[in-house]
Amino acid sequence: MSFVDARHPVPADEGSDWLYRDPKKDRWLRVELLIVTDGAHRVKIQHLDRDMKSAAEWVPIGRCKVPWKLREDYFATEEAWARCRSHQPEDAAMTEAAQSIFLDIVPGDVAFPDTAMAGVLEIYDPELLAEMTGMPVEAFSEHPDAFVHHQLNAPWPTMLEVVKVLARRYPEKLLSRLSEHKREVDEREKERLEQGDPWYVDEAKDGNRFAGRIIGFQQRNDRAMRLIAGWVGHTDDGLAERHIALRDQHVELVLAVLPVFDQLRMLRTKKADALIAELRELIERPMP
């Protein structure tokens, strides 16, 4: 089977039979393209199904999906996507947590969750992702609903496994996000204690949709951060803060050591050169 995506007709397709989606009767029909112009949003078709009585009409171009001869491959492609998408995250917070981990850890040209289809992980470089996770390459495609089209597309169970592995292997890359979120929550609670509930709390109770969306966003973000903390294995609220403090101290130490290099070079001894090399190696190690 060959995977086939929907595409818009072009002038060269005039006179050919196409697969057409009839929105009124929610069914697929066979039509002939009569007029297709460059950049047009509508095309003229003639219906070929007997019950349509050869009717001709102008229709939105998006209703024409693929040439008629490719319809079976198109249907199979749509079915493959449907099976892959059928495994959904528990809620939007879990989707947000997974996307945050990929943003913080995995380069976009290696893998990324499809933002238009929650629960589908697009893997562009399986070998590099395997190197980053320590998982075998085969693990990304072993789910029966994973398939290759443009890239390897893995369903939510595989994505969740990858996310948890990444969180455990690279916790230091997520602690800054967790620390910043904790500061925001603490500030929000401090303001509430000092000034009372923010305006949107009462407004949401009165049916204000915008206020309700603010509360929903906060709740979703709070749950996403709790999920990340759980996947990292982060249970100490002060761990993230201590991590940031240690990183800042590392930067201060590097800045303090740099002027010493010039003094060591003036000694012109093997011991001084060896010490310079050792210090440089330590300084140039990437910070977590």
Structure tokens at 202: 């009462």
Options 3.30.1330.60, 2.30.30.140, 2.120.10.30, 2.60.40.10; CATH of 11-70: 2.30.30.140
| CA–CA separation, 117 and 88 (whole Å) | 9
pLDDT given for residue 126 in this prediction:
96
Q: Is 131 left (phi over 0), alpha (psi -120 to 50) or beta?
A: alpha
* CA–CA distances in Å: residue 286 to residues 122, 250, 257, 280, 281: 28, 11, 17, 12, 10
| CA–CA separation, 166 and 160 (whole Å) | 10
> What percentage of the chain reaches a pLDDT higher than 70?
87
Q: Which residue has the higher pLDDT, 28 or 252?
A: 28
Q: How confident is the model at residue 10 (pLDDT cuts 50, 70, 90)?
A: very high
pLDDT given for residue 248 in this prediction:
57
Q: Is pLDDT above 90 for 52?
A: no
| CA–CA separation, 170 and 88 (whole Å) | 25
pLDDT given for residue 233 in this prediction:
82
Average pLDDT, the chain: 87
Q: Which residue has the higher pLDDT, 197 or 123?
A: 123
Structure tokens at 159: 């994505």
Of 39-48, 173-182, 222-231, the one with minimum mean pLDDT is 173-182
Q: Is pLDDT above 60 for 9?
A: yes
At 195-207, the pLDDT tens digits run: 888 888 888 888 8
Specify the DSSP element, H or E, that contains 42: strand 42-47
pLDDT given for residue 150 in this prediction:
94
3-class state of residue 110 by DSSP: coil
Specify the DSSP element, H or E, that contains 46: strand 42-47
* CA–CA distances in Å: residue 45 to residues 32, 62, 220: 6, 12, 47
Q: Is pLDDT above 70 for 178?
A: yes
